[in-house]
A = this chain, B = another copy of it.
Amino acid sequence: MTRHTLAVFVAAAFTSATCFAQGSQTVLEDFKPSTLNQPGQEYPQVNSQGYARFRIKAPKADSVKVSLGLGGRGGTRLTKGEDGFWTGTTEGPMDEGFHYYHLTVDGGTFNDPGALNYYGSVRWESGIEIPAHDQDFYALKNVPHGHVQQILFPSPSTQTSRRAYVYTPPGYEKEKSKKYPVLYLQHGWGEDETAWSNQGHANLIMDNLIAEGKIKPFIIVMTYGMTNEVKWGRMKEFRIEPFQTVLVDELIPYVDANFRTLADRNNRAMAGLSMGGMETHTITLNKPDVFGAYALLSGGIYNSEELKDKSKAKLIFLSCGSKENPDRVNKAAAELKAAGYNAVSFVSEKTAHEFLTWRRSLHELAPLLFK
Interface residues of A (CB under 8 A from B): 38-40, 56-63, 84, 103, 105-111, 113, 116-117, 122-124, 140-142, 145, 147-154, 160-161, 166, 173-174, 176, 197, 203, 229, 257-260
> Are B148's CB and A149's CB within 8 A?
yes
Measured CB to CB, the closest approach of chain B to A257, in angstroms, equals: 8
Q: Which residues of B contact A174 (CB under 8 A)?
A: 257-258
Residue of B nearest to A155 (CB): B142
Q: Which residues of B contact A105 (CB under 8 A)?
A: 58, 61, 105-106, 108, 110
In Å, the complex CA distance between A124 and B260 comes to 36
Copies in the complex: 2
In Å, the complex CA distance between A140 and B163 comes to 11
> Are A58's CB and B161's CB within 8 A?
no
24 contacts across the A-B interface (CB closer than 8 A): A58-B108, A59-B107, A59-B108, A60-B63, A61-B106, A103-B110, A105-B105, A105-B106, A106-B106, A108-B113, A109-B113, A110-B110, A113-B123, A116-B124, A117-B117, A140-B161, A145-B151, A145-B153, A147-B151, A148-B150, A149-B150, A173-B259, A174-B257, A176-B176
Given A39-B122, A173-B258, decide whether A106 and B60 contact each other with a Cβ distance below 8 A: yes
Measured CB to CB, the closest approach of chain B to A255, in angstroms, equals: 10
Q: Please tell me which one of the listed residues B84, B148, B149, B161 contacts residue A107 in the complex, with CB atoms under 8 A apart.
A: B84
> Are B173's CB and A108's CB within 8 A?
no
> Are A142's CB and B117's CB within 8 A?
no
> Are A107's CB and B150's CB within 8 A?
no
Q: Which residues of B contact A147 (CB under 8 A)?
A: 149-151, 166
In Å, the complex CA distance between A124 and B110 comes to 13
Residue of B nearest to A145 (CB): B152
Residue of B nearest to A64 (CB): B108
Measured CB to CB, the closest approach of chain B to A256, in angstroms, equals: 11
In Å, the complex CA distance between A153 and B60 comes to 45
In Å, the complex CA distance between A277 and B229 comes to 43
Q: Which residues of B contact A124 (CB under 8 A)?
A: 38, 116-117
In Å, the complex CA distance between A107 and B83 comes to 12
> Are B39's CB and A107's CB within 8 A?
no
> Are A122's CB and B57's CB within 8 A?
no
Measured CB to CB, the closest approach of chain B to A144, in angstroms, equals: 9
Residue of B nearest to A105 (CB): B105
Pairs of residues from A and B, 8 with the lowest C-beta to C-beta distance, nearest first: A58-B108, A145-B152, A60-B106, A59-B107, A61-B106, A110-B110, A148-B150, A149-B149
Q: Which residues of B contact A152 (CB under 8 A)?
A: 140, 145
In Å, the complex CA distance between A61 and B40 comes to 28
> Are B258's CB and A108's CB within 8 A?
no
Q: Which residues of B contact A60 (CB under 8 A)?
A: 62-63, 106-107
In Å, the complex CA distance between A173 and B108 comes to 47
Q: Please tell me which one of the listed residues B111, B142, B145, B259 contacts residue A113 in the complex, with CB atoms under 8 A apart.
A: B111
> Are A57's CB and B109's CB within 8 A?
yes
Q: Which residues of B contact A259 (CB under 8 A)?
A: 173
Measured CB to CB, the closest approach of chain B to A205, in angstroms, equals: 13
Measured CB to CB, the closest approach of chain B to A161, in angstroms, equals: 6
Given A140-B161, A142-B161, decide whether A40 and B122 contact each other with a Cβ distance below 8 A: yes
Q: Which of A40, A106, A142, A260 has the most CB of B within 10 A?
A: A106
Measured CB to CB, the closest approach of chain B to A331, in angstroms, equals: 37
Q: Please tell me which one of the listed residues B110, B145, B150, B257 contacts residue A111 in the complex, with CB atoms under 8 A apart.
A: B110
